[in-house]
Amino acid sequence: MASEFLRLRLRQFANAGQLGTPQLVRVIIGVVYAAAMTVLLVLVLIGLRDAQPDTARTAVVLGGSVVLLGFFVVPLLFPVSDRMDPRAFSLFGFTPETVARGLLAASFLSVPAIAVTIVGLATVVTWSATVGTALLAVVGAAIGVVTCVLAGRVSLSISAFALATRRAREAGVVVGVLALVVLVPGLVLLVLGGGTEAGGALGALESVLGWTPLGAAWAVAADAANGQWVLAVLKLLIAGATLALLWLGWKGLVALMAVTPSQEESVREHSGLGWFARTPSTPTGAVAARVLTYWARDPRYYAQLVIVPVVPVIAILVFLFVGIPVEYTALLPVPVMCVFLGWVVHNDVAFDNTAIWLHVASGRLGLADRIGRTVPVVLIAIPLIGIGSFLSVLFADQLSALPAVLGASTCLVLTGIGIGSVFSARFPYAATRPGDGAFTQPQSPGATWALAPGFSLLGTVLLSTPSIVFGVLGVFADPEYAWVSLWTGVGVGVVVAMVGIVWGARIFDRRGPELLAAAQRS
Amino acid sequence: MVRDLDPDDIVLEISGLLKRFGSTTAVAGIDLRVPRGSFYGIVGPNGAGKTTTLSMATGLLRPDGGSISVLGHDVWRDPAGAKRLIGVLPDRLRLFDRLTGRQLLHYAGTLRGLDATAVAQRSDDLAAAFGLGDALGRLVSDYSAGMTKKIALASAMIHSPRLLVLDEPFESVDPVSAQNVVEILERYVAAGGTVVLSSHSMDMIQRVCDRVAIIVEGAVPAQGTVDEVREGGTLEQRFLSLTGEHRNAEGLEWLLSSSD
């Protein structure tokens, strides 16, 4: 029976040739990327054969855990339509077991599954020092690969089934963006830490992950190669149990989906207000809900957020290259991200294009408009500063610098909000139009296009200078200054944000028609 | 249909309205008086200044001269007071179309200061009246052109304005929906509301409006009740006589040369 599912899957592959050109290009880019990554990883794994067994273990177990986590998490965060949905087979009279088995077999015919299979097999080469470890590596890799594919399959169905509602999908995307914004600096710090302490932190992480379902399968041969045969057997049991439980869960999910009607329509009707139901029903709350909805639904806003984690990563690589030690560079990512996070409001009005007429026609909405637009930034900034600052000082191993990082970051976000609130009302410049590709460059007449982004960024940094200077003194001279940095930063930030919002609101009320006229020109 | 109206009870008064774009004068001193309870049509050829006039009347475009007042509130000196009384349907401006229909209605209502309960109640009523009930859960960007007009019109009415200013409300609306919209507007007028709308369709204006103004090249050569303006003929005949002689298809002889 499984052969029928496989044939159907092959048919879908063959039909890819009939896609439109843009989709085909995307498919080809995906395949080429996957092939390149596969080759790279295989080469790395072959190279690890001659490395220290302990180093090889750390790399394989951590890498394998990340891959398995990716298989499970990516479909949840970035839902795609499932072309092999179990519900599509519910009318053919198969038993759930048959469908579950057939779909699992068909799942191996996908680009990520093929890639992980090849990479998984390459781990056998890594552990091929002795016949025993090689055999264990075959078993471990087989379990690991099947677990990955099955996890991806289960997660795809969960995202199609449980996250079918718009609200759930929106929440998923918000979590995804938050995770990106918070995780990227975390990972960078992790790599930095690993680089200096020769895998100390990574090794510790590996020894934990090896005991979890994520890493157990990859740790089997690794432990054996390090001479720890008892641990290897225990981890083999954990990996086997993980796979068995996942398989039972998959069978149950198929059976459940077959008899559960799609809940999309009814839920959508009840929850039709989305963010609007969760914010106060005042003009300010409505603007906040609208902006949150757009941040979650409109790719132009993510495109704008991409810069937030990218700049600090580049900055830190440069600093490391010129030889600044980690205990200082680790303090940088959070403040640098805060500069760009606060800055994203500086052209927010232009993103609305001519739809801004609704705000102009509704009366004096300036204050509500200004405050509402800052809400998503604040919602991202709070976890970013809160968690990010802690991680920073932990990795820099300078707990006394915590107030400085908190102060400078808070100051940068708040002054960014204050200055941005004035700039977006006074100097809007052409932004990507609604519905255009998120990375399309807009036509940009006028000089404000060149000046507004630069000046708003410069102003943010200048106003935050006192807090930054005290922060630097706190790190290099006397930790007491770190506290001065915190109080200066919070004080300046709050004042600038409030003044900026009130001033921006007055400009918005006065120049509403001119804002609309500017939008009509772009 | 001419309703009995008090000619001195003016809802929208425009006097000496002026707007220039660079060297061209789009609106050259327009005067309009719209009495309470009227169904007022504005007609004119393309580029005559209809949209410019209505944008200035609703506070969306700053005039270069003249004054506009709505029930005594000057639109440009007391914008908050005037805008509270006006419902607007602009032409060719975007909506926040990444919202669902329900969210857009909620947004429009809440921005106007309504509370959640009132918005929910009125959204349901408006959706039922406009036949949008099934579509409220979908994104406005997925709507057809006609449905987009209807959701925009519903958003313009949700705060129960005293004056509705509608720019081309029937454009790209199918005849059945147009009739549905006309009935809703007639009920609104019968209950004491005032409608000002612009349209290309003379037939539509003649059928549904009781008062009409013709705009040609930024001026108003004729206004009054439909009967006064059409002077015995049809509105279209009067319109053509005011916009200059009917242009023949001269110079297009080659188009007709199917004989050779």
pLDDT digits (tens, 9 = 90+) for A340-372: 899 888 888 888 889 999 999 998 889 999 999
What pLDDT score was predicted for residue A270?
A: 36
What pLDDT score was predicted for residue A448?
A: 53
Contact A290 B80 (CB under 8 A): no
Quick check: A361 contacting B, CB < 8 Å?
Answer: yes
Quick check: A368 contacting B, CB < 8 Å?
Answer: yes
Cα A64 to chain centroid distance, Å, stands at 19
Q: How far is B241 from chain A (nearest CA, A)?
A: 34
Task: Check whether A78 has a pLDDT greater than 70.
Answer: no
What pLDDT score was predicted for residue A176?
A: 64
| Cβ(B195)–Cβ(B204) below 8 Å | no
A22 band by pLDDT with thresholds 50, 70 and 90: low
Dihedral pair phi/psi, residue B41, rounded to 5°? -105, 140
Q: Which of B62, B102, B111 sits opposite A358 (nearest CB)?
A: B111
A198 band by pLDDT with thresholds 50, 70 and 90: very low
What does the alpha-carbon distance between residue A145 and residue A120 come to, in Å, rounded to a whole number?
Answer: 6
The count of other CB atoms within 10 Å of the CB of residue A137 is 27
What does the alpha-carbon distance between residue A486 and residue A409 come to, in Å, rounded to a whole number?
Answer: 9
Contact B136 A272 (CB under 8 A): yes
Q: For residue B11, which amino acid is it?
A: V
A437 band by pLDDT with thresholds 50, 70 and 90: low
For the segment A416-422, the average pLDDT, to the nearest whole number, is 95
For the segment A497-505, the average pLDDT, to the nearest whole number, is 96
Quick check: A281 contacting B, CB < 8 Å?
Answer: yes
Contact B112 A353 (CB under 8 A): no
Quick check: A175 contacting B, CB < 8 Å?
Answer: no
What does the alpha-carbon distance between residue A356 and residue A424 come to, in Å, rounded to a whole number?
Answer: 12
Contact A286 B79 (CB under 8 A): no
- For A51-76, the pLDDT digits (tens) are 888 888 888 888 888 888 888 887 77
Provide, rounded to the nearest whole percent, the portion of chain A with pLDDT above 90.
29
- For A370-383, the pLDDT digits (tens) are 999 999 999 999 98
3-state secondary structure (DSSP) of residue B63: coil
Q: How far is B26 from chain A (nearest CA, A)?
A: 15
Q: Which of B60, B100, B107 sits opposite A357 (nearest CB)?
A: B60
A110 band by pLDDT with thresholds 50, 70 and 90: confident
Give residues 64 to 83 of A whose Cβ lies within 8 Å of B.
Answer: none
For chain B, residues with pLDDT lower than 70 are: 1-4, 245-250, 256-260
Contact A435 B141 (CB under 8 A): yes
Quick check: A436 contacting B, CB < 8 Å?
Answer: no
Nearest to B43 by CA among B212, B252, B193: B212
Cα A59 to chain centroid distance, Å, stands at 22
Q: A365 or A205: whose pLDDT is higher?
A: A365
Quick check: A364 contacting B, CB < 8 Å?
Answer: yes
Task: Check whether A269 has a pLDDT greater than 50.
Answer: no
Could you give the C-alpha distances from B166 to B32, B88, B185, in angstroms and in order?
A: 16, 6, 11
What pLDDT score was predicted for residue A516?
A: 92
Quick check: A365 contacting B, CB < 8 Å?
Answer: yes
The model's pTM: 0.67
What pLDDT score was predicted for residue A266?
A: 40
What pLDDT score was predicted for residue A174?
A: 60
Contacts with B94 from chain A: Cβ below 8 Å: 352-355, 434
In the sheet with B24-35, reading across from the earlier edge strand, the strands are: B24-35, B10-21, B65-70, B73-74
Task: Check whether A295 has a pLDDT greater than 90.
Answer: no
For the segment A21-39, the average pLDDT, to the nearest whole number, is 78
Contact A362 B108 (CB under 8 A): yes
What pLDDT score was predicted for residue B35?
A: 92
| Cβ(A337)–Cβ(A399) below 8 Å | no
Tell me which chain A residue has its CA closest to the CA of residue B107. Answer: A286
Contact A513 B96 (CB under 8 A): no
Contact B111 A269 (CB under 8 A): no
- Between strands B39-43 and B194-199, the pairing is parallel
Q: In which residue are the tokens 């960078």 written? A: A188
DSSP A325: -
Task: Check whether A484 has a pLDDT greater than 70.
Answer: yes
**What is the phi-psi region of residue A322: left when phi exceeds 0, alpha when psi lies from -120 to 50, beta otherwise?**
alpha
Contact A276 B107 (CB under 8 A): yes
The count of other CB atoms within 10 Å of the CB of residue B40 is 25
Q: How far is A344 from chain B (nearest CA, A)?
A: 20
What does the domain layout of chain A look like in residue ranges?
A: 2-259, 274-520
What pLDDT score was predicted for residue B166?
A: 94
What mean pLDDT, rounded, does chain A reach? 82
What pLDDT score was predicted for residue A313?
A: 77
The count of other CB atoms within 10 Å of the CB of residue A28 is 11
User: Which structure tokens are listed for A260?
Assistant: 């559960």
Task: Check whether A261 has a pLDDT greater than 70.
Answer: no
| Cβ(A246)–Cβ(A154) below 8 Å | yes
Contact A361 B107 (CB under 8 A): no
A19 band by pLDDT with thresholds 50, 70 and 90: low
